[in-house]
Amino acid sequence: MWTVLRDLLRHNREFAAGVCLLGIVGLIAALSALSPYSPLDSYVVPPDLPPGLPYVLGTTSRGQDVFWMLTFAIRNTLLFGFIVALISRLLALLIGLVAGYAGGWIDRALMSLNDTFIVIPLFPILVLFYFVMRDRMSWASLALVMACLGWAYDARLIRSVALSLRTREFTETGIFSGMSMRQILTQEHLPFVLPIVFSTTMNNINWSIGLEVTLSVLGFTDINTPTIGSMIYWANQHTAMVAGIWWWVAFPVVLVVITFVGLFLLAISMNEFIDPRSRLGRGMQ
Amino acid sequence: MTDAVTPVVKVTHLRAYYSTHQFGVQREVRAVDDVSLQVMPDEIYGLAGESSCGKSTLIKTIAGAIRPPLAVQGGSVEFDFGGNKLDMYRAAPDEIAAIRWRHLSYVMQGSMGVLNPVRRVQQAFVDFALRHIGQPMPQFLDTVRAHLERVHLKPEVLRAYPHELSGGMRQRVAIALATVCKPELIIADEPTTALDVIVQKGVLDMIRSVQRELKTSLIFVTHDMAVHAHLCHRLGVMYAGRLIEEARTAELFGAPQHPYTQHLIASLPRIGRAAPTQALPGAPPNLAEPPSGCRFHPRCPRAMAVCQREVPPMQTLPGGHRVACFAVTPP
Amino acid sequence: MRTLRQAVLALLAALAGFGAMAQELISNVPRHQTLVVENPEGTIRNAGWFNYWAINAGGQSTGLHQLALDTFWYIDPNRGVNGVWDNSLASEKPIYNKDFTELTVKLRPGIFWSDGVEFTSADVVYTVETHMNTRGLRWSAPIQINVAGISAPDKYTAVFKLKKPNSRFHALFTVRWNAMWMMPKHIFEKAGDVIKFAFNPPVSLGPYTLHSFDPNGKWFIWQKREDWKRTTVARHGEPGPKYVAYVDAGPPDKRVIAQMNHQLDIIHDTSPEGMFTLAKQSRLSRGWFKGFPYAHPDPTLASVIFNNQNELLKNRDVRWALALVIDIKAVSMASYRGAATISAIGVPPTGTHPESYHKPMEAWLRTFEVDTGKRKIKPYDPTIGKQIADSLRPSMGIQIPDKPEDVAKAFGMGWWKPDLQAATELMQRAGFKKAGNQWMTPDGKPFTIKITVEGEGRPVMTRAGSMVAQQWRQFGIDASTVVAQGTLNDRRAAGDFDAIISWSVETWGGHPDLSFFLDSWHSQFIAEPGKPQPPRNWQRWSHPELDKIIEQIRTVGFDDPKGVELGREYVKLVAREMPTIPLMAYNVFTVMDETYWTGYPNAETAPYTDPVPNWGNTKYMMVKLKPRQAQ
Amino acid sequence: MSGYAAYLLRRVGQFVLVVFIGINISFVVTHATPIDPVEQTISATTAFGSTSPEAIAMMRQSLRELYGLEGSLWQQYLSFWKRVAVLDFGPSLSAFPTPVSDLIGRALPWTVGLLVVATTISWLLGNLLGGLAGYYREHRGLRWAGIVAMGFHPIPYYIVALLLVIVFGHLWPVLPISGGSQMNLAQGFTLDFAASVLRHSVLPVVSLVLVGLGGWFMGMRSLVSNIVSEDYVVYAELGGVSRRRILHSYVMRNALVPQVTGLAMSLGHIFNGAIITEQVFGYPGMGSLLVSAVHAGDYSLVLGLASVSIVAVAFAVLLLDLLYPFLDPRVKVS
């Protein structure tokens, strides 16, 4: 695995670029630990200063240092993406592998459920969830809800692989040697689907971050937690764009776009490595 | 055969390598290395050899069916269709396109997948042959139907989708497609290997009859010596990317010169032979780094010192029998 | 390939074409004859509905109640075109009998509906009786509760018989934002079920009639009536604009962009930053104040409203402690960038109120004392308004007034001095303990407060809320804000909050009477915890003294000076009790672009009405507007 | 043909399932909202005027009757399904008594129009360019097209829309950044109206296309670059079939099959994008209506909108599924 990564890094431009971009983003997120200010406090620095020294990326109309806010924002946003991805991966794996392995009516049932979740427009439903949960709609609960909605597309990919594994002889031998379904799935099949899981993770993170940003920009999430979305939200509250405080919107947008492109490059390079035919998880936006 | 007739295709010192460049590692597989041969009009020329000995690559190269990473490194492939001469690797693409199917057609290895899965069989005939046959559609279709009769197919197959046909039928369609324009040269790459024995027999007979009828030349590749014996006029044997022996079929089977050929023939099952033939030691070489000198020497029972140093030249014995081996000395 | 390239080029060309294609803002309506106004209601879901009297009807401030509806009286939140009080459909002020059980209204003759029918007492009787006989109309309830009967002795007189004495009954027909509008008898009596009647197109009693509207509810265009002379505003002159368009102008930044491109003459409200941007970049844009703080102080008192039914907040000491933690200067900066008019007392510092309340009570406030249990402190700092002005002068320069009375007018007078020591003492007296940096409730749990704010709906208030939360947090209280966008009204009514940034004090502005909100503060109306609380005692706070004051006010006349004295008693009471922490007037950044029209109201030279364009009172603005260049 | 029938049956079954699950979710969620439409109405009605408290109490009472909010949740659920059957969602509570179906009827055409146009453009353009890029690997222009498309693809709809608003609303104000058509223009099949609508839809469509394009582009490109090595393509080249012919009848034609499935699978996401975009551009469609309805606590309207969106998307998917067999003859037997 490591050698593969090393080779990819050396010889696959997309992969290398993706790693670099994410490296930058990750570094910025890590810096949040060093922030001199609490992300919740405002008017800790003079407002509306353009980028320069001592405030590298300028300050907001709320008297916050854009750079340090950004570190918290991107940290939380990434964390959010990872949590969603993690939980939804588990779901996707479970359903995908079981469906693929079991086949028959179980497969059919799971897949029609799966297709349902692929087709249903999620945004209205997320908005509705917000209006049920209101201030209980914390960042964590949103992550949970989105994880429960965001597994379908990848479950399909995993299932298709599992389906092909099912007919391989090692599965047969596994069955004859009396392995339980759980054993076969975890010991025999899991290793094969892991690469796909990895690449879909990237797309899934993109997807969840995208929605999180959208929702919080529309004020449909908890605005106390600094995320890229809530940063833009506050900027809009202060009509930063027209007021000429462009750095308040520009830098979050740039950073989040870097993140997206980075993750995305990783995903496609992984994809090409795994399986040139795979569909790049399109539609996950 | 008299020298007055010129060969349909003349291959000289042809070299075609697979060169891959992956993760910075340059690999070169010498699949076809310095091969020369000729095919005469109205002749079935067989190419024999174990799988992965380069025979498929050779005819792909002859047919100009090469795409990266396979590339021609040297030599030439010259066609002569009734005075209309051209060189596959020096002629302009449209010239090549012009001769394709009109003069030179091709039956692929495992012809199962050669038909566009989402379009009806008829479309294939239209795409491939219409412009050569140059008739208005209705007549053209009649011609096609007539031709299908030849290969014992009902005209209905034209309306069918590939997936609706059995393997054998698809094979026949492929062959019908390859022969419908009555080309001078047909290159057939293991056209029957994917079929079960009964169907195989039928297809072979059909190929022979069609060939007799159309007087086309045919390059026929298979690893199955029995098929060769049954079908071919002349036979070339390849080993590790090189042509090592070539002779009229009867002669080759009767008096094989090259140790490898002898082994091939010997290993054929014969009625009334008790002793099983002993297998050759070792395995065919890896063409990425082939043995020096004669590529067969590591396995050759009659290997000599020279075999390791030098590449044995192709020498012509009486009756056009050609062989590349130091152990063989012309009388 | 070539074909593809050509296709792409063609596409681009087409786009460019679109871009270049010049387009009038409004089709077939000359821009220079049109006033374009933002309607803060945004997109009207059922645009084709003009029956204002049916609850949940379509838009209200789509121009409908500013230009097409009318009723007896108007009270102006500022000076008024011709005095604060204007007899509109009525020709005289309300005439009560001495025990306030009968109200006589004299009507103005010669007023006509836009379809040529004259407006008479018959319409009044119809309107009132319809509300008496129909449930679920907008004013059914107040009418059914108050009115025993109505009669029309003659064409121009209407007499209300009231069920019980009520010296404020006329308020129902006195426009402050809106009031009970008159219905056209001749239309509605033919309409069948009043609740199901769309009243489209509306028959107008005002100087404009509906010209056209967007079925998707994004714009409504009104056209001046030929016979505008036969409407009530004619007394003040001819309305300037031939057309008035009320539009959904989108989010704050889009509004600013629109006005910069001179496509939006009046922005209803934007962020302070938006206001400053326009002041800087758009030569002809101006606010209520010519310079800083620009915004119009509505007669609305933005406050931190406690839920007084919350066990922890029942204790006055806690409420006072929380008040003393707040640094109003920071709140003013955070919310309004300093452009706020602060008020320490429970009356908005706007309209005539500074004269009637703030100035007279200054002396009392200076001597006012709070007992922290350990000592007595004088919390009031009369210089805070001035301090804010001074802190802004370096950046804003000459825009900041320096005459004390101007400073007081723009920034307010004094407020409570932050005093963490006193706050700590009060908290301790209330039984709270500080564990490390965290205040613990008497029963040992961490003291947490969630401040509910409205979010995008009211950016400025949201910003104020998060600043207050921050200050409380720094004092050691686990405080945070909760965005209740869209659900705020709901939660406010349900008492589903610890503290909420909103207002339970709204007044006439132009008239010292406080009954407009105060009457509803009587303990008789307080809902059980969890049960919905009727407006406007959102703090669910009651006090025997308050009840006494309210009951007395009910018995004195509207203009009786005794009302003001009682009002001051109320002010003292809430200052002692601190049921809500008054912050500042709700300043509205209404921005007016003088590219096409001049004569907008303003604080210095023409305070004739409230520029905030969703007020019914803004009908008076139309007669003052003049086209800038006659084209 | 029985194969086809079976396929048909399966797809219709899927359609029913989607509608059922989707609508149940939205029913449960909407009825779990803490928003009480009556209180919402009252506070909206009495926000500014002076209304005495006992008056409010009375109003509350009569509103409950008016809105017919009596009845158990189960009864409401049943009656709701009856309504869904005839697409009548009762009166909107925040726009009483206008029927929800009217409001949706007014918004739907806008969203559908936006969606259809944007999706068609991005799908066709993306597949065309992607196909060419996969076939003519060396073409520089196509390389760049690919890079641009990939650059935009991962960015969420909202951000792209925001950027467009900033650019065309602020830096270079040539295109309208809000609304669906010019003011005071009668809606109808007039040239002016059409032009105005077109003009107003440029930016929303562009933002949707920018995001959508990349996916199709890359999907198609990777498909094509695999298909060119398929036997039937190689064989056609050996057969001297013209490159054009090979490109569309062999390569693209085969690549389109999975791309159509892809389209069906991503319709839901595209719909999300459309309503988000509407929100940003103040476009008078379902998206704007949904958000405003949610703010007004009008759950009959919200429920209606959610249901219609789900049914509409599911239906669109069904249509594509039904077309699929004509694209891929193999379906009929499998």
Instruction: Give the pLDDT confidence of B181-228 residue by residue, as tens digits.
Output: 888 899 888 877 767 777 778 888 888 888 888 888 999 988 888 888
- CB–CB contact B161 D329 (8 Å): yes
Report the alpha-carbon distance of residue A108 to residue A104 in Å, rounded: 6
Q: Which range (A77-91, B26-40, C205-219, C471-485) has the least confidence?
A: B26-40
Q: Report chain A residues whose CB lies below 8 A from the CB of C480.
A: 40, 224
Report the alpha-carbon distance of residue A208 to residue A215 in Å, rounded: 10
Report the alpha-carbon distance of residue B210 to residue B152 in Å, rounded: 11
pLDDT on residue C104: 97
- What does the pLDDT look like over B46-81, one tens digit per residue? 998 887 788 888 888 888 877 777 888 888 888 888
Q: Are B31 and B72 in contact (CB under 8 A)?
A: no
Closest C-alpha to B211, from B238, B197, B235, B232 = B232
Taking the CA of residue B93 and the nearest CA in chain A, the distance in Å comes to 30
- Is residue B147 a part of any domain in this protein? yes
Q: How many CA within 13 A on the CB side of residue D253?
A: 18
Report the alpha-carbon distance of residue C476 to residue C463 in Å, rounded: 20
- What does the pLDDT look like over A79-99, one tens digit per residue? 999 999 999 999 999 998 888
Inter-residue long-range contacts of B64-68, CB under 8 Å, 24+ positions, other chains counted: B64/B88, B64/B89, B64/B96, B64/D238, B65/B106, B65/D234, B65/D237, B65/D238, B66/B16, B67/D229, B67/D234
Give chain B's domain count.
1
Q: Report chain A residues whose CB lies below 8 A from the CB of D271.
A: 121, 123
Interface residue of D52, D66, D143 to substitute, partner C, most C CBs within 10 Å: D52
- What does the pLDDT look like over B243-262, one tens digit per residue? 989 999 988 888 888 988 88
- Non-local CB neighbours of C595 within 8 Å, separated by 6+ positions: C262, C265, C284, C628
The token pair that represents B74 in the structure block: 């040297």
Quick one: how many helices (H) and strands (E) in chain B? 10, 12
Closest partner CB to D238 (pick from B106, B110, B117): B106
- Is residue B291 a part of any domain in this protein? no
Can you give the pTM of this predicted structure? Answer: 0.83
Q: Report chain B residues whose CB lies below 8 A from the CB of A272.
A: none
Q: Report chain B residues whose CB lies below 8 A from the CB of D245.
A: 127
Chain A residue with the nearest C-alpha to that of C467? A42
Average pLDDT in the C222-242 region? 96
Helices (H), C519-603: 544-554, 562-577
Residue A11 vs residue B302, higher pLDDT: B302
Closest C-alpha to C269, from A237, B127, D216, B289 = A237
**Three-state secondary-structure class, residue B3:** coil
The token pair that represents C51 in the structure block: 């029956």
Chain B residue with the nearest C-alpha to that of A7? B23
Taking the CA of residue C76 and the nearest CA in chain D, the distance in Å comes to 14
- Is residue B310 a part of any domain in this protein? no
- Is residue B298 a part of any domain in this protein? no
- CB–CB contact A112 D258 (8 Å): no
Chain A residue with the nearest C-alpha to that of C461? A237
Looking at chain C, which subunits does it touch, using at least 3 CB pairs closer than 8 Å as the criterion?
A, D
Closest partner CB to B127 (pick from D229, D230, D241): D241
Closest partner CB to D262 (pick from A132, A211, A279): A279
pLDDT on residue B4: 59
Helices (H), chain D: 2-32, 37-45, 53-67, 73-85, 100-135, 140-152, 157-165, 191-227, 231-238, 243-245, 253-281, 286-295, 299-327
Closest C-alpha to C272, from C591, C497, C592 = C591
Q: Are strands C157-162 and C147-154 parallel, antiparallel or unpaired?
A: antiparallel
- What does the pLDDT look like over A99-121, one tens digit per residue? 888 888 898 889 888 888 888 88
- CB–CB contact B117 D330 (8 Å): yes
Quick one: how many helices (H) and strands (E) in chain A? 13, 0
- CB–CB contact C274 A43 (8 Å): no
Q: In whole angstroms, how far apart are CA A153 and each of A237, B249, C363?
A: 35, 60, 71
Report the alpha-carbon distance of residue B268 to residue B230 in Å, rounded: 13
Taking the CA of residue D8 and the nearest CA in chain C, the distance in Å comes to 37
Token pair 């800083």 is found at C292
Peptide bond into C2 cis (omega under 30): no
pLDDT on residue B88: 85
Q: Report chain C residues whose CB lies below 8 A from the CB of A233.
A: 456
- CB–CB contact C334 A219 (8 Å): no
Q: Report chain B residues whose CB lies below 8 A from the CB of A7.
A: 23
Q: Are C486 and A229 in contact (CB under 8 A)?
A: no
Report the alpha-carbon distance of residue C51 to residue D66 in Å, rounded: 16
- What does the pLDDT look like over B90-100, one tens digit per residue? 888 888 888 88
pLDDT on residue D47: 61
Chain B residue with the nearest C-alpha to that of D329? B118
* A-to-D residue pairs, Cβ atoms closer than 8 angstroms: 157
- Is residue B2 a part of any domain in this protein? no
Q: Do chains A and B touch (3 or more CB pairs under 8 A)?
A: yes
Q: How many CB atoms neighbour CB B42 within 10 A?
A: 15
Write the single-letter amino acid at C396.
M
pLDDT on residue B278: 63
Report the alpha-carbon distance of residue A151 to residue A89 in Å, rounded: 7
- Non-local CB neighbours of C348 within 8 Å, separated by 6+ positions: C297, C298, C299, C300, C301, C505, C506, C507, C509, C585, C586
Please give the distance of CA B284 from its chain centroid, rounded to a whole number.
Answer: 20
Taking the CA of residue A13 and the nearest CA in chain C, the distance in Å comes to 28
The DSSP secondary structure of C104-116, one letter per residue, reads EEEBPSS-B-TTS
Taking the CA of residue D271 and the nearest CA in chain C, the distance in Å comes to 20
Report the alpha-carbon distance of residue B287 to residue B291 in Å, rounded: 9
Residue C25 vs residue C97, higher pLDDT: C97
Q: Do chains C and B touch (3 or more CB pairs under 8 A)?
A: no
Chain A residue with the nearest C-alpha to that of D169? A242
pLDDT at B286 over 90: no
Taking the CA of residue D172 and the nearest CA in chain C, the distance in Å comes to 10
The token pair that represents C332 in the structure block: 């003013």
DSSP state of B173: H
- Is residue B92 a part of any domain in this protein? yes
Closest partner CB to D39 (pick from C27, C58, C494): C494
Q: Which H or E run includes B256?
A: none
- What does the pLDDT look like over B151-175, one tens digit per residue? 788 888 899 888 888 877 888 888 8
**Three-state secondary-structure class, residue C183:** coil
Residue B90 vs residue C427, higher pLDDT: C427
Q: Report chain C residues whose CB lies below 8 A from the CB of A219.
A: 455-456, 483, 485
Write the single-letter amino acid at C151.
S
Please give the distance of CA A210 from its chain centroid, rounded to a whole number.
Answer: 8
- CB–CB contact A239 C270 (8 Å): yes
Burial of residue C13 (number of CB atoms within 10 Å: 0-12, 13-18, 19+) = exposed
**Three-state secondary-structure class, residue B106:** strand
Closest partner CB to A237 (pick from C260, C459, C480): C459
DSSP state of C559: T
Peptide bond into B138 cis (omega under 30): no
- What does the pLDDT look like over C362-378, one tens digit per residue? 999 999 999 999 999 99
pLDDT on residue D334: 45
- CB–CB contact C330 A240 (8 Å): no
Closest C-alpha to C182, from C98, C247, C124 = C124
pLDDT at C532 over 50: yes
Angle between helices D2-32 and D73-85 (to 10 degrees): 140
Report the alpha-carbon distance of residue A101 to residue C53 in Å, rounded: 65
Chain A residue with the nearest C-alpha to that of C278? A243
Q: Which H or E run includes C305?
A: strand C296-306
Token pair 């497969």 is found at A107
Please give the distance of CA D108 from its chain centroid, rounded to a whole number.
Answer: 10
- Which residue range is the domain that position B32 belongs to? 9-239
Closest partner CB to A242 (pick from C274, C334, C480): C274
Q: What is the mean pLDDT of chain C?
A: 91
pLDDT on residue C278: 93
Q: Which of residues 477-506 of C touch D (CB under 8 A)?
A: 485-487, 489-490, 492-494, 496, 506
Question: Residue A284 — very low, low, confident or very high, per pLDDT cuts 50/70/90?
Answer: very low
Q: Report chain D residues whose CB lies below 8 A from the CB of C140.
A: 58-59, 62
Chain C residue with the nearest C-alpha to that of D57? C534
Whether D299 has its CB under 8 Å from any CB of chain C: the answer is: no
Chain A residue with the nearest C-alpha to that of B22? A11
pLDDT at A285 over 50: no
- What does the pLDDT look like over C87-142, one tens digit per residue? 999 999 999 999 999 999 999 999 999 999 999 999 999 999 999 998 878 888 88
pLDDT on residue B52: 77
- What does the pLDDT look like over A217-269, one tens digit per residue? 777 777 778 899 899 888 988 888 888 898 998 899 899 889 988 888 888 77
- CB–CB contact A282 D262 (8 Å): yes
Report the alpha-carbon distance of residue C520 to residue B50 in Å, rounded: 102
Q: Do chains D and C touch (3 or more CB pairs under 8 A)?
A: yes
Closest C-alpha to C208, from C65, C68, C104 = C68
Q: In percent, how much of chain A has pLDDT > 90?
A: 24
Q: In percent, how much of chain C has pLDDT > 90?
A: 73
Token pair 């049920």 is found at A132
Angle between helices D2-32 and D299-327 (to 10 degrees): 160
* A-to-B residue pairs, Cβ atoms closer than 8 angstroms: 5
DSSP state of B276: P
The token pair that represents C503 in the structure block: 């207002």
Write the single-letter amino acid at B198.
I
CATH number, domain containing residue B64: 3.40.50.300
pLDDT on residue A282: 30
- CATH number for A2-276 (one of 3.90.1150.10, 3.40.50.300, 1.10.540.10, 1.10.3720.10): it is 1.10.3720.10
Chain A residue with the nearest C-alpha to that of B24? A11
- CB–CB contact D95 C28 (8 Å): no
Whether D231 has its CB under 8 Å from any CB of chain B: the answer is: yes
How high is the ipTM of this complex? 0.80
- What does the pLDDT look like over C303-334, one tens digit per residue? 999 999 999 999 999 999 999 999 999 999 99
Q: In whole angstroms, how far apart are CA A42 and each of A66, A73, C469, C473?
A: 11, 15, 11, 12
Closest C-alpha to C346, from C388, C312, C303 = C303
Burial of residue D112 (number of CB atoms within 10 Å: 0-12, 13-18, 19+) = middle
Which residues of chain D are modeled with pLDDT < 50? 334
Phi-psi region of B240 (alpha: psi -120 to 50; beta: other; left: phi over 0): left
Question: Residue A125 — very low, low, confident or very high, per pLDDT cuts 50/70/90?
Answer: confident
Chain A residue with the nearest C-alpha to that of C472? A41
Whether B119 has its CB under 8 Å from any CB of chain D: the answer is: yes
Write the single-letter amino acid at D282.
G
